[in-house]
Amino acid sequence: MKSHLVIAFILFTLTTGVSHAQKKVGTTAVSFLEIGVGARGMAMGEAHVAASNDVNSLYWNPAGVTAINGNQVSFQYTDWIIDTRLNYASVIFRVRNNMYIGAHFNAFDSGSMNVTDVLFPDGTGEVFRVQDVSLGLSYAQQLTEYFSIGGNVKLIQSTIWRMKASAIALDMGFQYQTPLENLNLGFSISNFGSEMKLQGDNTAVRIDLDPRASGNNDGVLGNLGLRSWDLPLLFRIGLAYKIFDNTTQSLMVTSDAVYPNNNNPYINSGLEYGFRDTFFLRGGYANAFLQDTEGLGHLRLGFGVKLADRISADYAYSDRGILGGINTLGATVKF
């Protein structure tokens, strides 16, 4: 009874910390970094900072990979909105009993689109695409039986037609197994790094310095000034509590408080039910207490299957409001 009261108090503290400050939607670059990775974490309401315990922890909380007994590789595919897609691959190696190194590749691709302008609204005959990529190296270590830390260093690049921008970023996190039985605490900071500024020849324009004068003044070549933009910084703190866990069934509840630098704080919550550590049902509610969620949605659902303790396959469905539903498929292999 005491442990349940403590858990309820901590969850209440996280929730009351969510305030409605001034919103800054659309004030950061490379928003693909905010799209969750891994069908399991997505299906659990994206509340995964304390529950992540596989190679996909490199996205949610790098410290979570210390729960892996061996090496793992993962492949994830998300069918994103308007025929765009997100591909993610990650690998982790256990180099010592309590030390891990890994890497990840996260790529967003818009597909080909027609170039249009005022004179050619149906297309100029050229095509372009938006491609955002994150490449990262990871390190994690279990410092004690109850406390683990981890981090990523990432190279991020965004390409739009003939323009590019790049940045270096860091992720940091820890997980702590509290003295209360079956209760884990997690914290992570994601995308802490430099600003991004697009550069290329798409900003070249012809300028008429004096429209009232005749002559060839309209032939002066100018360059549009673009500003630098921050990365989408995310602070996550959360809890994962196993209500019961035996040889037949398990049930875990999770909750995260998320503090982004481009929006109001919000709460994610999720559940995972397991049967014989083989079949899993998951559900969650994301973006609680967040206003104007037309394109974010709330409902998350999914399931997973584990085969021979080495291969697992997962699926997640995410309701994105007026943008429709999003499907995420994933596979993880232990080797």
105-115 in b/e form (b: 16+ CB < 10 A) is ebbbbbeeeee
Query: Quick count: other Cβ atoms within 10 Å of Cβ 240?
Result: 27
Q: In what helix (H) or strand (E) does residue 11 lie, and over which residues does it extend?
A: helix 2-16
Closest C-alpha among 221, 152, 141 to residue 193? 152
- What pLDDT was estimated at residue 244? 94
Q: Does 277 score more than 80 pLDDT?
A: yes
Dig out the tokens for 291 from the structure.
Answer: 């206003």
| Mean pLDDT score, 308-335 | 94
Contact 15, 257 (CB under 8 A): yes
SS3 73: strand
Closest CA to 287 of 9, 42, 27: 42
Structure confidence at residue 175 as a pLDDT band (50, 70, 90): very high
Is residue 214 in a domain? no
What digits encode the pLDDT tens for the residues 178-222? 999 999 999 999 999 999 998 888 777 777 766 777 666 666 777
Tokens of 292: 């104007």
Mean per-residue pLDDT of the chain: 89
Domain of residue 98 covers 35-195+230-334
- Tell me which of 11-15, 103-107, 327-331 is least confident: 11-15
Task: Provide the phi-psi class of 314: left if phi over 0, else alpha when psi is between -120 and 50, else beta.
Answer: beta
In a domain, 28, yes or no: no
Percent of the chain with pLDDT strictly greater than 90: 69
- Residue that is written with structure tokens 């699926």 in the block: 315
Residue 40 belongs to what H/E stretch? Answer: helix 39-43
pLDDT at 218: 62
Whether the CB-CB separation of 14 and 267 falls below 8 Å is answered with: yes
Domain containing 89 — which CATH number? 2.40.160.60
Residue 64 has pLDDT above 60, yes or no: yes
* 3 state DSSP class of 194: coil
The pLDDT, as a whole number, for residue 13 is: 47
Lowest-confidence segment of 10-14, 58-62, 233-237, 243-247 by average pLDDT: 10-14
pLDDT in tens, 3-20: 444 454 454 445 444 444
Alpha carbon distance 252, 282 (integer Å): 10
Give me the number of domains the chain comprises.
1
